[in-house]
Amino acid sequence: MTDHDKLYIDGQWVPSTGSGSIDVINASTEEVMGSVPEGTAEDVDRAVAAAKAAFESWSQTSTAERGKFIQGLADALGARNQEIAESVCGEVGMPMFLSQLVQAGLPAAVAGSYVGILDEFAFEEEVGNSLVIKEPIGVVGCITPWNYPLHQVVAKVAPALAAGCTVVLKPSEVAPLTSFILADIIDGLGMPAGVFNLVTGTGPVVGEAMAAHPDVDMISFTGSTRAGKRVSELASQTIKRVALELGGKSANILLDDLEGEELDKAARAGVGSCYLNSGQTCTAFTRMLVPRSKHDEIVDIIKDEVESVYSIGDPFAGEARLGPVISDVQRDRVRSYIQKGIDEGATLVTGGPEQPDDLPKGYYIKPTVFANVDNSMTIAQEEIFGPVLSVIPYEDEADAVRIANDTVYGLSGGVWGADKDRAKGVARKVRTGQLEVNGGGFNAVAPFGGYKQSGNGRELGKYGLEEFLQTKSLQL
């Protein structure tokens, strides 16, 4: 049990002005594993006031001084890898070996990247008779999701602090425990009081208070498109900047020049790109677009991959590739989508909506594949956020691009082809913020963000730093 009864405001651990608490549930046992305070709008007021007071001095610190704090943050996150991984393994259900690499390893790497970025970033430039200056925007409210609970926090907090902003963080109430580890680290670094503040609670109370607050200069939000619209609506009343990273329905195009081992490799890799974190990934490649002439061949490869590799089970045991989804609500949601796929006429290849026979407890979903999916079906249009892959046949390259773009989302995607230049050409035609070409690896300093209803703004690298800066010109 990890029980927290205080919030972190103005450099101190303080009780909430409210009396409620929120239980954190272990996704694989369905038992309470911790609790956090149910914060209030008054708590947000206190945190924002502290951040506003701290901004004047923090914004004037040198980049070298801020860089030392960021380096200390990265080092401390690395030192607590095991603790972070165990927490996320319980809260979210990602298997331990992946939690260590992704849920714990990635935040440390992202934080560390901003040390070098600060050294190289040009905060001033001369343009004609003007001096153009990049300045921190002010108090930033960060609202983050549960699927990568610490990574999504660090991807906002590290560049915001590096830029010279002060922060009020509201993590997801479903997976908030690693944010307390972060706050403990920051407290131990001796960062000035008020620069970083943590208020836990629900979106309708704490999140909405932050988005509407007149002294919050920017909201950086990651979550569902529905919630992002609400954040934008509230934030518009004070004309604050809003950065949104929202949902996705990413297409993975397998081109018709793939044959033999290349085709086999692409199809199997596509399963992994869909099922990471039990499909609870905004960039998940949930639509695999395949040549109609090779549809059945590819489906056979996928079926073999899922049934031979993607075992489900206890994420702490070290054997399963897939753990549970995060909650009973999410389990029911994913099951309803699987049933809708069946009802709308897609071919169920493997998996299904039933609880796995050997896992009566825990929020487990069978890894599921649908074939012969039409892009108009619900499972091809709506974000499911579970281990559900839709295989969609296309006629030719133009048809593949049309299908890939036939969605309200535009976050990520992939293209596989024997001719890499051709694959890059197809990738240029897909309207998303990021694409993998032939399985290109994740880059922690490349820009990340979406087109269309997948959001606006960019995270990671220098692009993430720029989100938290205002531009001023001095005419000389």
Looking only at the bridges linking them, the beta strands covering 196-198 and 166-170 are parallel
- Please enumerate in sequence order all residues whose Cβ is within 8 A of that of 23, keeping only pairs 6 or more positions apart, or say none: 32, 34, 35
Residues 109 and 307: their CA atoms lie apart, in Å, by 33
Give Cα 450 to chain centroid, integer Å: 12
End-to-end CA distance of the chain: 61
Strand residues in 38-170 grouped as ranges (E): 124-127, 130-136, 139-143, 166-170
Task: Write the CA distances from 22 to 35, 150, 173, 177, integer angstroms.
Answer: 5, 18, 7, 11
The reply to whether 142 belongs to the active site is no
Please say whether the beta carbons of 373 and 390 come within 8 A.
yes
Active-site pick, 245, 436, 459, 467: 245
Identify the active-site residue in 282, 305, 397, 467. Answer: 282
The C-alpha atoms of residue 182 and residue 185 are separated, in whole angstroms, by 5
The answer to whether the beta carbons of residues 142 and 44 sit under 8 Å apart is no
Cα 425 from Cα 35, distance rounded (Å): 50
Residue with tokens 């609790």: 35
CA–CA dist 84, 104 (Å, integer) = 6
Integer Cα distance of 387 and 93 in angstroms: 13
The answer to whether 405 and 451 are in contact (CB under 8 A) is no
Q: Is 259 a catalytic residue?
A: no
What amino acid occupies position 349?
Answer: V
Q: In terms of DSSP H, where are the helices of 81-136?
A: 81-91, 96-98, 105-120
Q: Note whether 161 and 69 are within 8 A (CB).
A: yes
Show which residues are catalytic: 245, 282
